[in-house]
């Protein structure tokens, strides 16, 4: 699903954010991206979502070479990715329903389909009764679940999350991670950047660890 | 999605965005109305002036076709001589219509129309001469032939003064032409102002909705999708501005209506002011809408590309 081939990213200010990173995340896999802050986790995710472009090397998303993607194709590529953010990035002047519906509106779904799909997504994250609420009326955990519903509502093949539990307490964090596992179980590829090592170590998934822009090791899950 | 569904769906989405943009303006009524009012005034000024000069031109064209020549006879010309001249001129081919106004008739008319009735009572004798008014035949109505005819009439011994009324009409028309042209210049300048006003308003709106634009880009919104609501905002500003402009013009002309009718009555004319015709109203609406749209387009083109998620 995601393949990095000796990727470098240098920011205009001269900082080397990624140096010679290579890895392959298979379709249907789930993995954690770990490392200290500033290790390059966010940069790596930004390259996948084409928010930033690699300076050198090649990366592929679902078989497409992202170093050659023209600008006007970027929106359509992003529709294949459900993105989840640490600060949720919801629209605070719209209801929960409208927030979750946004990807469908953008993709031009019909009115009837939108209602059905939004409710299905809200049901999955357990917020069906909150569709008329404004995000500001929800707790942090609930807001993040709205963000997740928005990310999955158009059934993208890939979910990427940047510190999705960064602002949540441990119990809520475990809930959120469990949600990601559920999506992975139905075939969605999931890549989560997190430094919540306590939580991650209890889960049997690949860890891609970055240190100062380099890939330190890619640990396979323990067990058979 | 079946292709058959695509077009109605596309139109429905556009209608929805258009309504949403209108709703957004409605939610901050004072700010929206102020912007629209500025646009309205900017549009009302040239259209009002244009309409006014159009009326003046129409008024002068009423006189234009009836270019008439007035012959003021010497005061010592007797009524018999005057009638003889009248008979003589009736034989001329250049003259289509001829009317003899006696001093008594002239005095009576002057008394009723001028408002100097009482002052005239003080005169012991009628100071007015015999006057012949004539209208050149169609073939001699153009400026050149009329002037030739005028020269010929001036040569008559009974005539003290021969006046071609067309002259001032021509001068008047020339002045109106210059005024109209200046109004076009004014219209272009004010149109530019409308562009800047909408452009600036849309620019502020883009800045206010920066987060929303970034998020929309992050989840796959195309530039076209993001641009659309702003373009509709500009469109609505222009349309509402044009409607306000039409109202302002109508209101101003309503104020002028009474006095103009009074003035026209003094000149024995049934003239009344023409206000905006349906076609002119439509043109104003179209001008407002396209200026608003264009202003928004310029702002969106400049500022939207600068917002990229980071």
- One domain for residues B176 and B229: yes
The residue of chain B with its CA nearest to that of A110 is B9
Query: How far out from the chain centre does Cα B307 lie?
Result: 44
- One domain for residues B123 and B196: no
- One domain for residues B26 and B155: no
- One domain for residues B74 and B139: yes
Is B263 a member of any domain? Answer: yes
More confident residue, B204 or B62: B204
Characterise A205 by phi-psi region: left (phi > 0), alpha (psi -120 to 50), beta (else): beta
Minimal CA separation from A95 to chain B, in Å:
14
**Residue among B55, B68, B49 at smallest CA distance from B169:** B68
Domain final residue pick, B164, B195, B220: B164
Identify the helix (H) or strand (E) that includes residue B63. Answer: helix B29-64
% of chain A beyond a pLDDT of 70: 97
A224 pLDDT tier (thresholds 50, 70, 90): very low
Flag if B220 and A103 touch (Cβ within 8 Å): yes
A153 pLDDT tier (thresholds 50, 70, 90): very high
Arithmetic mean of pLDDT over chain A: 91
So where are chain A's domains?
Answer: 92-155
Which residues contact residue A29 at a Cβ distance below 8 angstroms, ignoring those fewer than 6 apart? A1, A184, A189, A190, A206
Is B79 a member of any domain? Answer: yes
Measured CA to CA in angstroms, residue B294 lies from A103, B11, B40, B265 at distances of 28, 21, 16, 46
Does residue B246 carry a pLDDT above 80?
yes
- One domain for residues B105 and B203: no
Average pLDDT rounded to a whole number, residues B220-239: 94
pLDDT at site A223: 43
Does residue A179 carry a pLDDT above 70?
yes
- In a 13 Å sphere around the CA of B260, the CA atoms on its Cβ side amount to 16
- One domain for residues B275 and B225: yes
Average pLDDT rounded to a whole number, residues A184-197: 93
A61 pLDDT tier (thresholds 50, 70, 90): very high
> Which residues does chain A have within 8 Å of residue B12's beta carbon, measured at their own beta carbons?
111
Flag if A89 and B211 touch (Cβ within 8 Å): yes
**Residue among A31, A58, A53 at smallest CA distance from A43:** A53
Counting every residue, how long is chain A? 224
Q: What is the pLDDT of residues B256-305, one digit of tens each?
A: 888 888 888 887 777 778 888 899 999 999 999 999 999 999 999 888 88
- One domain for residues B203 and B124: no
Q: Is A43 helix (H, G, I), strand (E, B) or coil?
A: helix
Minimal CA separation from B219 to chain A, in Å:
6
Does residue B112 carry a pLDDT above 80?
no
The per-residue b/e assignment along B145-163, b for 16 or more CB within 10 angstroms, e otherwise, is ebeebbeebeeeebbeebb
More confident residue, B59 or A10: A10
Domain final residue pick, B164, B198, B230: B164
- One domain for residues B35 and B153: no
CB proximity B20 to A under 8 Å: no
Contact assessment for residue A82 and residue A179, using Cβ atoms and an 8 Å cutoff:
no
pLDDT at site B62: 63
- One domain for residues B48 and B118: no
pLDDT at site B2: 43
Domain of residue B192 covers 7-63+170-303
Identify the helix (H) or strand (E) that includes residue B69. Answer: strand B69-73
pLDDT at site B5: 59
pLDDT at site B154: 87
Q: Which two tokens stand for residue B126?
A: 């009628």
ipTM confidence = 0.91
Query: Could you give the number of structural domains in chain B?
Result: 2
Is B11 a member of any domain? Answer: yes
């Amino acid at each position: 699903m995601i393949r990095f081939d000796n990727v470098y990213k240098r920011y205009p200010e001269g900082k080397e954010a990624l140096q010679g990173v290579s890895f392959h995340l298979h379709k249907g896999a789930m993995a954690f991206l770990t490392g200290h802050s500033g290790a390059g986790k966010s940069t790596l995710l930004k390259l996948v979502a084409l928010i930033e472009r690699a300076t050198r090397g090649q990366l592929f998303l679902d078989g497409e070479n992202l170093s050659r993607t023209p600008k006007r194709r970027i929106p359509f590529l992003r529709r294949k990715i459900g993105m989840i953010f640490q600060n949720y990035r919801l629209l605070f002047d719209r209801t929960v329903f409208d927030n979750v519906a946004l990807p469908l509106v953008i993709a031009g779904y019909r009115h009837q389909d939108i209602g059905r799909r939004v409710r299905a997504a809200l049901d999955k994250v357990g917020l069906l009764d909150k569709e008329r609420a404004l995000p500001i009326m929800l707790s942090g955990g609930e807001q993040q679940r709205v963000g997740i519903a928005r990310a999955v509502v158009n059934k993208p093949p890939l979910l990427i999350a940047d510190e999705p539990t960064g602002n949540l307490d441990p119990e809520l964090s475990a809930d959120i991670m469990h949600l990601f596992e559920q999506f992975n179980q139905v075939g969605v590829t999931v890549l989560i950047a997190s430094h919540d090592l306590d939580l991650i170590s209890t889960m049997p998934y690949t860890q891609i660890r970055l240190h100062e822009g380099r890939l330190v090791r890619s640990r396979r899950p323990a067990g058979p | 999605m079946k292709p058959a569904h695509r077009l109605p769906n596309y139109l429905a989405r556009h209608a929805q965005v258009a309504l949403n943009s209108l709703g957004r303006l409605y939610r901050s009524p004072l700010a929206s109305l102020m912007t629209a009012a500025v646009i309205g005034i900017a549009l009302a000024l040239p259209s009002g002036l244009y309409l006014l000069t159009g009326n003046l031109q129409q008024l002068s064209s009423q006189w234009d076709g009836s270019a008439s020549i007035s012959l003021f006879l010497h005061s010592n010309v007797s009524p018999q001589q005057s009638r003889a001249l009248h008979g003589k001129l009736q034989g001329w081919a250049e003259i289509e219509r001829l009317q003899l106004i006696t001093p008594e008739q002239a005095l009576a008319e002057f008394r009723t129309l001028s408002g100097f009735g009482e002052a005239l009572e003080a005169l012991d004798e009628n100071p007015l001469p015999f006057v012949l008014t004539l209208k050149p035949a169609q073939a001699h109505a153009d400026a050149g032939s009329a002037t030739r005819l005028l020269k010929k009439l001036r040569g008559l011994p009974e005539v003290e003064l021969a006046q071609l009324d067309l002259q001032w009409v021509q001068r008047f028309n020339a002045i109106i032409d210059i005024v109209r042209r200046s109004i076009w210049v004014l219209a272009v300048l004010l149109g530019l102002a409308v562009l800047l006003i909408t452009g600036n308003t849309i620019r502020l709106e883009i800045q206010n909705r920066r987060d929303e634009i970034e998020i929309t880009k992050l989840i796959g919104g195309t530039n076209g999708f993001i641009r659309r609501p702003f373009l509709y905002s500009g469109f609505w500003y222009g349309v509402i501005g044009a409607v306000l402009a039409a109202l302002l013009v109508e209101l101003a002309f309503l104020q002028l209506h009474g006095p103009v009718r009074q003035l026209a009555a003094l000149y024995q004319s049934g003239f009344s002011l023409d206000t905006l015709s349906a076609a002119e109203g439509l043109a104003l609406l179209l001008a407002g809408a396209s200026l608003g749209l264009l202003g928004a387009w310029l702002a969106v083109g400049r500022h939207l590309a600068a917002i990229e998620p980071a």
